[in-house]
Amino acid sequence: MRKILGSTLAFIYLLFPMSLVLLILIFTPLMFFSYVSAIRTSGFAGPDTALSMIGLSGFVIGLSLLISPLRRIYGVFPWLYPFVKIFFVGMIILNIGISILNVGYQTVSDTRQTLFFILMVVFVVLGRLGMSFYFHRNPVLEEGEEA
C-alpha cells in the first residue's frame, strides 16, 4: 500500500509542479534572446523575474530530490536527472544575465546600457564556459549512479 501511495504521489508530482518546471527549463534558453531583444529595442528594463524563477524551480527540483518517493521519477525517466541538472544551471546563468541587463537599463544612459549589455554577454559566455568545464570534469550521471 505504501509503495502504491508513493508511486501515485510521484506521478501527481511529475504531472503538476515538475512539468511546469520542465517547461520553464526548456523555454528559458529560447526566451532569453527575445527578452534581451525587447529590452534593447525598448530602452527600458523589463520585469525582473529571475529570482522567482530560480527559487520556484530550485524548490520543486529540490523537493523531488529530497523526498524518496518523489525520486522515483528519476528512476522511471533516467534522462530526467541529467536534463534537470544541466538546464537548471543554464537557467541560473541566463536569468542572472537578464538581471544584469535590467540593472543597466534602469536609467536612460547609452553608455551605461552598452556597458551592461557587454557585461551581460561576458557573464553568459563565461558562465556557459564554466558550466561546460565543470560538467566536463564531473560528468552528469543518472541519479544514484557512481563514476
Q: What residues contact residue 144 under an 8 Å CB cut-off, 6+ apart?
A: 74
- In angstroms, the CA 8 to CA 25 distance is 24
Residue 146: predicted pLDDT: 65
- In angstroms, the CA 34 to CA 14 distance is 28
In this prediction the pTM is 0.91
Q: What residues contact residue 13 under an 8 Å CB cut-off, 6+ apart?
A: 63, 64, 70, 73
Residue 93: predicted pLDDT: 97
Mean pLDDT of the chain: 93
Residue 143: predicted pLDDT: 58
Cell 523575474, located at residue: 49
pLDDT of 6-57, one tens digit each?
999 999 999 999 999 999 999 999 999 999 999 999 999 988 888 899 999 9
pLDDT score of 58 more than 80? yes
Amino acid at 132: S
Mean pLDDT in residue range 122-134 = 98
pLDDT of 80-126, one tens digit each?
999 999 999 999 999 999 999 999 999 989 999 999 999 999 999 99
C-alpha cell at 86: 544541466
